[in-house]
Each structure stands twice: as C-alpha cells, then as structure tokens.
Amino acid sequence: MIGGVIFIGISLYVLLQAADIPNRANNGFTRNYLEHYSQPNEQQSISDRIVKISGVTDSEIYFSGGDPRWIMKYDYSLNLKDTVLFGIAYSERLRDPGIYVDSPDVYMYGMEISYLLKGSLDAFLLDTLKLETDLITRVAQISSDKLAIRGLDSTQARQVFKIMSAKSGKVIRQHDIFPEQQFGGFEKDGRMKYDSRTKCLYFAQMYQNGIYCMDTMLNLKYISRTIDTAIVNEVEIGMQDENGVTKIVPKKPRQIVNKDLDVFNGVVFILSGLKADNETYAEFSKICAIDMYNGENGRYIGSITIPTWKNKRLKEFKVYNNNLIALYEGGNCSIFKLNDRVLREIYF
C-alpha cells in the first residue's frame, strides 16, 4: 500500500511507459562487443497497434496489440499470413493483456482481474479460469499445466512470486525473494521469462542490476548481476487520479537499467538502458545494446548491438534459433540473423 491505500482495484499504469532518465554519464563498466549489426535481414512497418511479440515457431511470428480480440501471424519475410479474431467482449480491464502463443495454444492473462483465458488459434473461442491471486504484474507460461506470476499477496501491500496451476487456478507454491519492499513491490519491478532448456525462470530487475534464477518451484538457484554497477537506484512510486481511475506512477524520473529480457536455449539476453564507458553518448543514442549471459551460472558472455529505427528505440525483442526479432516503437519490425561467431560464443 502507499499511504495506507490498498492496491486492489487500482489500474496498473505500466511503469515502462513513462520516460526514463537519458543516460549520458559513465557507469563504471565496459562492454565486450561480439558484433555490431548495422542492417537487418528483413524489415517491415507492420502496425503501430502491435505492442508485443507473443510467440514464435520455426516458420511463424505472432504479434498482439492492446485489444485482446486479435492476434496477427507473420512469416519470417514479415508478410502478414493471417489475423486471428477471438469471440470475447472488449473491456478496458483486459486492455494490454499478457498474451503468449505456443502454437496452436493461446494464453491470455487479465493482469488486473487475475483471469487466465485459454484457447486455440483454430477455435477462436477462449475458456476462462479465475486465478487464486490478486493483481498480477508479471507472468511467464511454463507449460500447459503451470504458469509463474509475480503479484500482490494477501496483504495487498507487497508482491510475491507464485507457481500456479493452469488447470485449476490454484497456487502450487509461493515464495518471496524480496523481503524488503517499500512501494508495494513496484520499486522491485522487472521482466520474467522461462527457458525450456534450463527449466528455469529468470527475473531481471528493471531499476537495479539483479538477475534472479529460480527453478519451477521457485527455489532460488543463483543471484547474479548485470555488468553495470547499478546496485542502488532510488525509485519512488505515487498515485494519481485520471478520469476516475487511480493509477500507479513514478514520482520522479527513473534510470531503467534493464529494459527487456529474453531467454533462449540457456542464454539470457538483456536489453540494457545504460551506456558503457567504452561508448559515447552519441554512439549509444543510435544503438540498442543487448548483453548476453550464461543461463546456468549468470556469467557474462558478451554483447551485440542493433541500430535504432528512424530514431525509435527497441520496444521488445525475441530470440529464436539464429533469429533476433526486434519490435520498435511505432510498429516497425526487423529481423537480424545472428552470425556464426556470435552463435559459437553464446551456444557454447
């Protein structure tokens, strides 16, 4: 709670949407560059309504937007192959749901209402399941049977990690890896992904440099640090009313350390928000730096960079085999092929 206010029923204002502090200063670390990618293999302006890369297969990429009723399917030449429409009613509380496609299965998470909607790309209908939890802030699908979430506990004043049944909606295991929380745990926000090779969950903090690796019962395997030195980064959270809805917002600009996370085949990929000391601000403003770590032990492997697109920063990315799929602000998508040198380094 903030100032005695319970979080239940409060609309989440996603903290990533607020501008962070431009990073001009030296940060006490350098990057070991494995490759600078200057041109994508494929590039296409698709739609500014697309906000998320929801799934990939060997031949298809699935995108979703703020409206949960549709998912768009593209091939690796970025040609639109299909638009899947689901027969559900639109609701503001379902806006920007977490959508995960494991073709042909589709999972949608109503973060504010704590519902899981399950369906198929072939059926166009969704079954609903109430989850035994309150407000959800992060989610990762482990399998058709289990999912991991981070969200409010029964006190409504702090956040915990939970493993939940995707069949019954019941909590299987609950664990609190952040015992000290000030602003309902939002100052400890981060990105969470599951990797099928290591069978581990990874949580990378947004405002500090911690990487937390857990097994699928939330037993902590290790805590590592990204290559920067941002162990302490003060965050203050407040609330404001907007059109009768109370929203959670940052009270001052924040320095985002880790902007996005993906994990594939035992490698942790982190989109960094910090300039290295061996980069000028002019250089850093034109690139997106992705730092890579060994998922087994957190060891730093090296870094790659991809360019910004028309001064637009990278919004989200996904790695699949040798493809790095980049979704930029404004709806541009680019695909970069990781070359043999990088593949040899990251896949051991």
Mean pLDDT of the chain, nearest integer? 85
| pLDDT tens readout for residues 25-63 | 677 899 999 999 999 999 999 888 888 999 999 999 999
Q: How confident is residue 122, by pLDDT bands cut at 50, 70 and 90?
A: confident
Mean pLDDT confidence for 1-28: 51
Rounded Cα gap, residues 286 and 157, in angstroms: 40
Task: Classify residue 94 by its DSSP letter.
Answer: G
Question: Comparing 94-98, 187-191, 289-293, 313-317, which segment has the lowest mean pLDDT?
Answer: 94-98
Instruction: For residue 13, give the nearest of 197, 251, 258 by alpha carbon.
Output: 251
112 occurs within a structural domain? yes
Q: Is residue 93 part of a domain?
A: yes
Q: What is the pLDDT of residue 134?
A: 82
How sure is the predictor about 143, in pLDDT bands with cuts at 50, 70 and 90? Answer: very high
Q: Which residues contact 18 (CB under 8 A, 6 or more apart)?
A: 249, 250, 253, 254
Domain-located, residue 5 = no
Is 2 domain-assigned? no
At 198, the pLDDT band (50, 70, 90 cuts) reads very high
Within a domain: 7: no
Which amino acid makes up residue 48? D
**With pLDDT > 70 as the criterion, what percentage of the chain qualifies?**
83
Q: Is residue 16 a part of any domain in this protein?
A: no
pLDDT above 70 for 232: no
12 in a structural domain: no
Whether the Cβ atoms of residue 69 and residue 34 lie closer than 8 Å to each other: no
Total domain count, the chain: 1
pLDDT in tens, 244-281: 555 555 555 467 899 999 999 999 999 999 999 999 98
Query: How far, in Å, CA of 331 to CA of 74, rounded?
Result: 14
pLDDT at 15: 45
Length of the chain: 348
Establish if 42 belongs to a structural domain. Answer: yes
pLDDT at position 188:
84
Residue 190's CATH number: 2.120.10.30
Q: Which of 77-86, 176-185, 194-203, 233-242 has the highest mean pLDDT?
A: 194-203
Tens-place pLDDT, residues 155-164: 878 899 999 9
Judge whether residue 4 has pLDDT over 50.
no
State the pTM of this model.
Answer: 0.89
Average pLDDT over residues 67-91: 87
For residue 68, say if its preceding peptide bond is cis, omega within 30 degrees of 0.
no
Domain with 314 in it: 21-346
Q: Which sign does the torsion angle of CA 165, 171, 173, 179 carry?
A: positive
3-state secondary structure of 198: coil
